[in-house]
Amino acid sequence: MSAWNPAADHPLTVWRSGPTGDPGDDLLEGIRLLERVRDGDGGATLRLYRPEPTVAFGQRDIRLPGYDAATSSARELGFAPVVRKAGGRAAAYHRGTLIVDHVEPAGQAMMGHQERFRVLGELYANALRSLGIDAAVGEIPGEYCPGEFSVHGVPGTASVATAPVKLVGTAQRVVAGAWLFASVFVVEDSAPLRRVLEAVYRDMALPMDPSTAGAAEDLVPGTSVADVEAALLAAYGEHTELLDPGAVGRS
Q: What is the pLDDT of residue 251?
A: 31
Residue 167: is its pLDDT beyond 90?
A: yes
* Distance separating alpha carbons of residues 227 and 69, to the nearest angstrom: 36
Q: What is the pLDDT of residue 250?
A: 38
Q: What is the dihedral of CA 145, 149, 153, 154, to 10 degrees?
A: 110
Please report which helix (H) or strand (E) contains residue 237, including its range.
Answer: helix 225-237
Structure letter (DSSP) for residue 245? G
Q: What is the pLDDT of residue 10?
A: 72
Residue 7: is its pLDDT beyond 60?
A: no
Angle of helix 225-237 relative to helix 113-129, nearest 10 degrees, comes to: 120
Q: What is the pLDDT of residue 88?
A: 82
Window from 48-57, 111-120, 128-137, 232-241 with minimum mean pLDDT:
111-120
Q: What is the pLDDT of residue 86?
A: 63
The pLDDT-based confidence of 193 (bands split at 50, 70, 90) is very high
Please enumerate in sequence order all residues whose Cβ is within 8 A of that of 29, keeping only pairs 6 or more positions apart, or say none.
Answer: 17, 47, 101
Three-state secondary structure readout of 189-233: CHHHHHHHHHHHHHHCCCCCCHHHECCHHHHCCCCCHHHHHHHHH
**For all residues of the chain together, what is the average pLDDT?**
91
Contact criterion met (CB below 8 Å) for 204 and 143: no
* Distance separating alpha carbons of residues 168 and 185, to the nearest angstrom: 5
| Global model pTM greater than 0.75 | yes
Q: What is the pLDDT of residue 249?
A: 39
Residue 158: is its pLDDT beyond 80?
A: no
Strand, helix or coil at 114? helix
Q: Could you give the domains of the chain? A: 12-238 (3.30.930.10)
* Distance separating alpha carbons of residues 88 and 209, to the nearest angstrom: 17
